[in-house]
Structure 1
Amino acid sequence: MTPSRPGDRGASLSAEPLALILGVSGLTPTPWEAAFLREINPFGFILFRRNVRDPDQVRALTESLRALVGRPDAPVLIDQEGGRVHRLKPPLWRAPPPAEVFGQLYARDPALGREAAWLNARLIAHDLLALGIDTDCLPVLDVRHPGAHDIVGDRAFSEDPDEVTTLGAAVIDGLEAGGVYPVVKHIPGHGRAQADSHEALPVIDTAFDDLVAHDLVPFRALAQAPFAMTAHILYTALDADAPATLSPTVIERVIRGACAFDGLLMTDDLSMKALAGSMEERSRRSLAAGCDLVLHCNGDASEMEQAARGARPLDSAAQRRWDTARQQRRLPDPGYDAAGGLARLGELLNG
């Protein structure tokens, strides 16, 4: 399918941001992408490895994306977890360790584990904000389960929900101290999945009470986070017909209810194979189910158009949540000693 020319959709620039976060295809927006983004006015953007060459290029890209929508505070997201998942790579950027490393240190010394997790997140925020990236899809609050698919694996801190909560709180605080919004994921929990949701729809048959007692613990404890990302997982005890991202029952009863999360709720990537239907249908159903924002990552122009057709402007509840996030955002200490923080983190991890 060939993408239409901007203007062919019969829509003009929305006064309110569209409830959509989009990726672009390369190091700079193409002429088509620039015109499309200017027209539809998405809420924010997400960067991947294909969008990264060097610091000057990334800074120019984040500036250009915000200029296209005329909003200097339009969020720019990235997945900079560490371990297997980091878009900014050596030698130009530090490679953070996976979450499991902090869980192992915590098991030996809880105080040092918390300190290391905070320092690592603070250093990530320092790197991101220098590039104009203000939102990190971190921390992973999934509780690891023995025998589950390794799509989570060492991205999880621990098999103990209380340890996940403690270390997740340290990461949130470290990111926020550096002026970066955290995105907790993957609510209501990906740790039991027996399949990779990038490739297939995982099905979890665990009873609701067991989920509340275990998997939901970190999400409930850290419900004040400004953003959360859904899990593309079918929880048969909650909704046997729709994965969490598309389920009004899961979002209302579990995410907004049992977890009491009142921040901005975004989908995981709409282009993942766990979801069925066109991008337009996925986008529309996610928002109808109760998500505030839909996320489309791969930069495919035709899919971006479909996702935009299924989206709507930010509604009043989402706007209230975004206003709250902006009001509560912390400004980083301009005198932060990143070199000293890095040296201390090295001591902790190598000690």
Structure 2
Amino acid sequence: MTSRALILGCAGKTLSAEETAFFRDVRPWGFILFKRNIGTPDEVRALTASLRATIGRDDAPILIDQEGGRVQRMGPPHWPAYPAGGRFRRLDGAATAMARLGARLMAHDLSEVGINVDCAPVLDVPEPGAHDIIGDRAYATTPSQVAEIGRAVAEGLMAGGVLPVMKHIPGHGRAACDSHHGLPVVEASLESLAAQDFGPFRTLADLPMAMSAHVVFTQIDPDRPATQSRTVIADVIRGAIGFDGLLMTDDLSMHALTGPFRARAEAAFAAGIDVALHCNGDADEMRAVAEGTPALEGDALRRAEAALARLDHGRDGFDLQLARAQFAAALAQAA
């Protein structure tokens, strides 16, 4: 059966009867988990299995934001605490190797409980004076360094059978406010954006998935955030950056966006988004988003299938205990 171009969250650590029926009826392409969904490893494993069972697809993508630092949905006591992305640039010549190893370890943690997509790497280049929503999540302060470490993170995830989602395309590093709470407006010139913000995404345009930025770029489209801008998606993301992978929205429930939830989804698809993301598990909001979401077909289906086809590409052999020891030693030495 055809999936809907939609990724949804759920309310708790188990599915209610209402959620089960809703997901079975709507048939989202995938799901996303947050801290509210995370219990013991066995509980997470049972939840991911239940989610897939509702839509009858064993390969259904289940996403999580597992960057390390402030953005880590799975952590102690059941999983290690990983460093923020900005920590790696302090490792001198070992930065890329340790970023790759850290991501490989996270991929192990995720795949063990049935999670096969991580919303990382963060490819935003921070601008001095910008809001700290990116802050130490940024791998470095230059486009080339961000791209180099971001590539290592993506490779580490894919080596463990987990798909990376680069974010927040075409760049969130200049935002003066947190898009969870308001709409950032960036007035930088197209030349400045192309030289700095777009660079890491252009370098990693071969990755399978990307998440859009809820940011207005006034010199490209003064009226609409990138997520809902046909100009940004066609001319910048698909054009100047050259990304032909699966493009998903950032969370449609964030306060950067306004208006009814059905209209938010419809505007994103009209702009050229492939898949809508709604995270908070609110039943009424999910229902409205689903009403504004089409079937996954055409180029969006092609891109979704191409992404899933890379799930086990290049999976490596792995000595977990040795890797954990090497990773801990490198971080301790840098500290």
Under TM normalisation by the shorter chain, which class is it?
over 0.9
TM-score normalised per structure 2:
0.98
Q: Which stretches of structure 1, 4 residues or longer, exceed 3 Å deviation after superposition?
A: 331-335
| 2:126 corresponds to | 144
Verify the 8 A CA contact 1:186 1:231 in the aligned structure 2. yes
Q: Which runs of 5+ in 2 are unaligned?
A: none
Alignment of 1:233-252 (within 5 A): 233-252=215-234
Partner letter of residue 184 of structure 2? P
1:200 aligns with 2:186: no
| 1:7 corresponds to | none
1:273 aligns with 2:255: yes
TM-score normalised per structure 1:
0.93
Distance, in Å, in 1 between the alignment partners of 2:139 and 2:127 is 11
| 1:40 corresponds to | 26
How far apart are 1:332 and its partner, in Å? 6.8
1:67 aligns with 2:18: no
How far apart are 1:82 and its partner, in Å? 0.5
Distance, in Å, in 2 between the alignment partners of 1:238 and 1:335 is 45
Partner letter of residue 79 of structure 1? D
| 2:309 corresponds to | 327
Verify the 8 A CA contact 1:22 1:296 in the aligned structure 2. yes
Verify the 8 A CA contact 1:144 1:157 in the aligned structure 2. no
| 1:102 corresponds to | 88
| 1:5 corresponds to | none
Residues 1:332 and 1:252: Cα distance change in structure 2 (over 3 Å): closer
1:20 aligns with 2:2: no
Deviations 1:207-250 (A, max 9, x none): 11111111110000000111100000000000001000000000
Distance, in Å, in 1 between the alignment partners of 2:114 and 2:20 is 18
Verify the 8 A CA contact 2:163 2:310 in the aligned structure 1. no
| 2:107 corresponds to | 125
| 1:182 corresponds to | 164
Verify the 8 A CA contact 1:96 1:120 in the aligned structure 2. yes
Verify the 8 A CA contact 2:158 2:315 in the aligned structure 1. no
Distance, in Å, in 2 between the alignment partners of 1:54 and 1:332 is 29
Residues 1:209 and 1:16: Cα distance change in structure 2 (over 3 Å): same
Residues 1:249 and 1:23: Cα distance change in structure 2 (over 3 Å): same
Partner letter of residue 160 of structure 2? G
Please report the RMSD computed on the Cα atoms of aligned residues, expressed in angstroms.
1.0
Deviations 1:191-214 (A, max 9, x none): 000000000000000011111111
Distance, in Å, in 2 between the alignment partners of 1:347 and 1:94 is 14
Q: 1:55 aligns with which of 38, 41, 55?
A: 41
User: Residue 71 of structure 1: SS of its match in structure 2?
Assistant: coil
Distance, in Å, in 2 between the alignment partners of 1:325 and 1:310 is 24
| 2:142 corresponds to | 160
Verify the 8 A CA contact 2:159 2:316 in the aligned structure 1. no
Q: Which runs of 5+ in 1 are unaligned?
A: 1-14
| 2:272 corresponds to | 290
User: Residue 265 of structure 2: SS of its match in structure 1?
Assistant: helix
Partner letter of residue 76 of structure 2? P
Aligned residues: percent identity?
A: 53
Partner letter of residue 284 of structure 2? S
How far apart are 1:334 and its partner, in Å? 7.3
| 1:31 corresponds to | 17
User: Residue 148 of structure 1: SS of its match in structure 2?
Assistant: coil
How far apart are 1:327 and its partner, in Å? 2.5
Deviations 1:271-296 (A, max 9, x none): 00000111100011111110000000
